[in-house]
Structure 1
Amino acid sequence: MRIVVAHNRYREAQPSGENTIVDSEIAQLTAAGVEVLPFIRSSDEIPSMSKAAKALLPISPIWAPRAQHDLSRLLTEHRPDVLHLHNPYPLISPWVVRTAHRHGVPVVQTVHNYRQVCSSGIYFRDGVICQDCKGRALGVPAIKHRCYRDSAVQSALMATTLAVHRGTWRSVDRYIALTSAIADHLREYGIPDERVVVKPNSVPDPGRPVPLGDGFLYMARLSPEKGVDLLLDAWRRHPVGALGTLRIAGDGELRPLVEAAAAERPDVVYLGQLDRAGVRAAVEASAVVIVAAMWHDVLPTVIIEALSSGRPVLGTALGGIPYLLGADAPHEPAGTGPAEIASTVAGGGGGPAMPAGIGLGEAGWVVAPEPAALAAALPVARAGAPGLTVAARARYERIFHPDVVTKQLIDIYAGLARTPNHV
């Protein structure tokens, strides 16, 4: 089987879980005997482009003529079975779907965000969840609020791109939804059930888990939607040292906030940006991993990292987080405010009775994205971590292990490769 994997890499200066997942998936497919033809562009290429190429950048999200030319040549030469698209922006463009179909090649897309509808891709603006562009022919609110790269002009271009390519997205042969929450997002967008498959990402197996460490680990981009300020607010509601150590890893605009907290309290340690070895060491040193997302986070890779090492997770009840933890809470709460979300997770999903507002899943806990709820859950998670380590590792092996996930992906390709080609 021969597969083209198309992806516009995010800038290396801004660490991207999506880049990591694409690299890992290519390696896993290759190891499984699939011939992978990478069709990769990188946003890091932009500064070194010629003046003529830079002049075309404003239209590249809509069309990207150079990418279409190069892809056409690759498809003609290698005649692949399937094109697998990840991120098309800004140098590849959704137009590659049309280019592939013109060559009779079916298209799979893994949906890593909400950019079929939302110009920023995360349904988050000014510190709160925002879905103002849902159901609109043109995302005027995104333009008004400068949602894409804080630019009215670039936001207008992205909103126009989403409007132009509505038909393109609806022509994709198979969508890979990373969680059931994304599957619902695609259905709301108008994609038929039979073209949506739920298949999560995976991370390499680190081997048999070592005994639990102590305290908590938060590892994410230090930006408002990732909730590090929420976590620090919750942490300060406990006496110094009462919960062990809070380790924080990552970088971003809220780094000064984290550095100030580490200077203020000896039970807060800032680790900076970590490499793969550092990530594993930080996970193993901790007992619980925290995902304090303030947005409908699609699939935080750190959760799978935690489960692979037998570490349970305390997360907010948003996006794909409850799905990842096997929590019996709605994956897309009807209300987006803390009160509505708290009511959905009260009582948890079975097992020992939980304090009100804390949901118990197979591999962790979910709470409303508010400081009081997270503060109440911290001692519960610390006390309960030893009882969930085996379940956390078992969930990884059953659902997120590379052997399981790669087989699912190959089955998706095989099902499409047997269908009649587009004309």
Structure 2
Amino acid sequence: MRILLVHNHYQQAGGEDSVFEAEGALLESNGHDVVRYTEHNNDVSQIGKLQLAARTIWSRETNRKLGEVVTRFKPEVVHFHNTLPLISPSAYYAAAKGGARIIQTLHNYRLFCPPSLFLRDGKVCELCLGKTLATPAIRYGCYRGSRSASTVVATMLATHKLLNTYFKKIDTFVALTEFSKSKFVEGGFPASKIVVKPHFIEAPEVKTPTAEDSVLFVGRLSEEKGIGTLLNSWIDSGSTRKLIIVGDGPMHSEVEAAVKKNDSIHWLGRKSADEVRTVMQAAGLVVVPSECYETFGRVIMEAYAVQKPVVVSRIGAVAELVDDGNTGLLFEPGNSTDLMKKVEQVFAGDTQQMARNALSYYTSRFTPEANYRQLMAIYAGDYHTSAAHSHEGSVRNVA
């Protein structure tokens, strides 16, 4: 199959960039002819503000260049990841001219929320959900802390909602979880156009689960990630259980202060993916105390792959990835007492069985092989066939 992948890279590489690369490699390893069309946000600094604003709403350059690629390559499928800001929705029009199936992965909530996370001042915010023009985002300057930048993104979204670009030009949207899908449906997207396919990771070398009774947090040190709740759990309870924190972010000073108050808390700073895997292998469980919706929970998938149970806040997409009582436990978001209670409950139970359950959850849903089958079903429009194999993944089509 001839497949064209389209992505606007971020200045600081993140999850979307990784998924774009991983899915491309997966397709090529299975014998498909893959071409990539990319732009990079490092080029933004070379573009004037007015030109960038116009290009964000409708990029003539991308429309022309991508059109040439489509004419030359004749893709059967064009799969979009991120189009903001340099590619723009004009790319959908260029892609559609070749008659290919158009797929868009919904990595975030950008099609409703300019900053993409349904998050404002560290709290969940849905003021723009379902609106044609995201006026609250403009009023609060939600995108990059700028009213002018927020206006540009909101105008882009409104323009293409009025043109019906997203529904006319895109055949299938790929949400990462049922929760994420539900938010798009709530905002007016037809459920029949959205399927659910999670991310995947390569299977690491699986070692015998360690007996160490430590807890690991991996992520950005910020309010919405629940780092404050996590620290309070240890400080307020005086827990002597080892807590390992990996990551960096705006709340690093709070983490440093907590380390001084409770010597069971250890901050390792930012680590590479390989280093994180090594630390995770040695931990007893992984904690994900998010207080925002998220669209997925990659660290949960990584924990399962190395046989680690999880303690996760009962909110949004991350809660959906937990088989409560089997692969881990859920706690009330923002409740530091409940978090510590659930941590101790895991260690008081059969952690070895939970570890086996976690690995089983990974192998049935998050392997490259399962993901490839789901991706092919999506490209073929054969959602129901894939849904019949519920233990091989979670591609579903609910009209």
TM-score between the two structures when normalised by the length of structure 2: 0.90
The aligned counterpart of 2:35 is 37
Say if 2:361 is the partner of 1:395.
Answer: yes
CA shift at 1:256, angstroms?
1.8
Q: Could you say if the C-alpha distance between residues 36 and 263 of structure 1 is closer, same or farther in structure 2, counting changes exceeding 3 Å?
A: farther
Quick one: which of 101, 109, 120 aligns to 1:114?
A: 109
Say if 2:279 is the partner of 1:315.
Answer: no
C-alpha contact (below 8 Å) 1:217/1:248 kept by paired residues: yes
Structure 1, 93-102 or 107-116: larger mean CA deviation: 93-102
Q: Could you say if the C-alpha distance between residues 154 and 234 of structure 1 is closer, same or farther in structure 2, counting changes exceeding 3 Å?
A: same
Q: Distance in 2 between matches of 1:372 and 1:313?
A: 17
Quick one: which of 124, 127, 138 aligns to 2:122?
A: 127
CA displacement, residues 240-285 of structure 1 (integer Å, 9 cap, x when unaligned) = 41x2x11111122122222222233221111221112111111101
Letter of the 1:58 partner, please give it. Answer: A
Quick one: which of 326, 334, 337 aligns to 1:372?
A: 337
C-alpha contact (below 8 Å) 2:66/2:91 kept by paired residues: yes
The aligned counterpart of 1:383 is 348
Say if 2:276 is the partner of 1:279.
Answer: yes
CA displacement, residues 113-149 of structure 1 (integer Å, 9 cap, x when unaligned) = 1111111111111121111112322111111111000
Q: Distance in 2 between matches of 1:128 and 1:260?
A: 23
Letter of the 1:222 partner, please give it. Answer: L
Q: Distance in 2 between matches of 1:74 and 1:392?
A: 43
- C-alpha RMSD of the superposition: 1.7
Q: Distance in 1 between matches of 2:217 and 2:365?
A: 23
Which secondary structure state, in structure 1, belongs to the residue aligned with residue 4 of structure 2? strand
Say if 2:206 is the partner of 1:220.
Answer: no
Q: Distance in 1 between matches of 2:326 and 2:56?
A: 41
Quick one: which of 163, 179, 187 aligns to 1:189?
A: 187
The aligned counterpart of 2:264 is 267
Matches within 5 A, 1:237-252: 237-241=236-240, 243=241, 245-252=242-249
Q: Which runs of 4+ in 1 moved over 4 A?
A: none
Gaps of 5+ in 1: 327-359, 417-423
Aligned length: 376
Q: Could you say if the C-alpha distance between residues 31 and 261 of structure 1 is closer, same or farther in structure 2, counting changes exceeding 3 Å?
A: same
C-alpha contact (below 8 Å) 1:232/1:261 kept by paired residues: yes
C-alpha contact (below 8 Å) 1:177/1:197 kept by paired residues: yes
Gaps of 5+ in 2: 383-399
C-alpha contact (below 8 Å) 1:182/1:298 kept by paired residues: yes
Q: Could you say if the C-alpha distance between residues 149 and 31 of structure 1 is closer, same or farther in structure 2, counting changes exceeding 3 Å?
A: same
The aligned counterpart of 2:388 is none
Identity %, equivalent residues:
33
Quick one: which of 89, 97, 103 aligns to 1:94?
A: 89
Say if 2:374 is the partner of 1:408.
Answer: yes
Q: Distance in 1 between matches of 2:284 and 2:19?
A: 25
Q: Distance in 1 between matches of 2:32 and 2:259?
A: 47
Q: Distance in 2 between matches of 1:305 and 1:367?
A: 20
Q: Could you say if the C-alpha distance between residues 375 and 240 of structure 1 is closer, same or farther in structure 2, counting changes exceeding 3 Å?
A: closer
The aligned counterpart of 1:27 is 25
Letter of the 2:282 partner, please give it. Answer: A
Q: Distance in 1 between matches of 2:193 and 2:325?
A: 29
Which secondary structure state, in structure 2, belongs to the residue aligned with residue 325 of structure 1? coil
The aligned counterpart of 2:172 is 174
Q: Distance in 2 between matches of 1:178 and 1:361?
A: 23
The aligned counterpart of 1:362 is 326
Which secondary structure state, in structure 2, belongs to the residue aligned with residue 29 of structure 1? helix
C-alpha contact (below 8 Å) 1:120/1:148 kept by paired residues: yes
Q: Distance in 1 between matches of 2:61 and 2:286?
A: 43
CA displacement, residues 9-50 of structure 1 (integer Å, 9 cap, x when unaligned) = 2223xx512222222111111111122211122212323x2x
CA displacement, residues 85-111 of structure 1 (integer Å, 9 cap, x when unaligned) = 111111111221122112322211111
Q: Distance in 2 between matches of 1:265 and 1:80?
A: 57
